[in-house]
Amino acid sequence: MKQDDLEAIATYLKDIPAESAATAPLSADDPSMQAGAAIYRDLCAACHKLDGAGVAALFPSLAASGSVASREPTSLIRVVLRGAQSVSTSAAPIGPRMPAFGWQLNDAELAALLTYIRNSWGHAAMPVTERTVRNARSRLAVRND
């Protein structure tokens, strides 16, 4: 890549606000928080742990992740819909994988799950709506990466 392009990408990335504008987390009694917590316990906690802390050098902490509470949830939606694969190196050959959940969770379930992780462990971020998930899913459907 050219230096100018690299600098433009870096400027863009540094410009994205890390945390959302919400000041207080949604109440744990909120129905979407309760639904999201149940899904998180079933599908995510085995790797990322109930307290969102993950496992050092294996599964990232969601509690410490800026992308979880980002104002713009597209990347977050994408990683849960499609999964992700860490690179493997000769020093760290495992390259842990985040499974895809797009086939297993519908838009309402994904919205509740993401709203839950965006409002847990110290995060306070705008809820993710079913419509936002539906739009992201249809935009991603035409990309095969």
Residues that bind ligand HEC (CB under 6 A): 43-44, 46-48, 59-60, 62, 65, 67-68, 76, 79-80, 84, 86, 96-99, 101, 113, 117
**Nearer to ligand HEC by C-beta: 4 or 145?**
145
Q: Which amino acid is at 30?
A: D
Residue with tokens 């999964």: 83
CB of 23 to ligand HEC, least distance (A): 22
CB of 99 to ligand HEC, least distance (A): 6
Measure the CA angle with vertex 26, ends 50 and 48; round to 5°.
Answer: 20
**Nearer to ligand HEC by C-beta: 87 or 142?**
87
Residue with tokens 């739009």: 135
Over the Cα atoms of the chain, what is R_g? 16
Spatial CA neighbour of 68 closest among 98, 90, 46, 35 = 98
Structure tokens at 138: 């249809």
CB of 111 to ligand HEC, least distance (A): 12
d(CA 26, CA 95): 34
**Nearer to ligand HEC by C-beta: 20 or 65?**
65
CB of 116 to ligand HEC, least distance (A): 9
Q: Which residue is nearest to ligand HEC (CB)?
A: 44
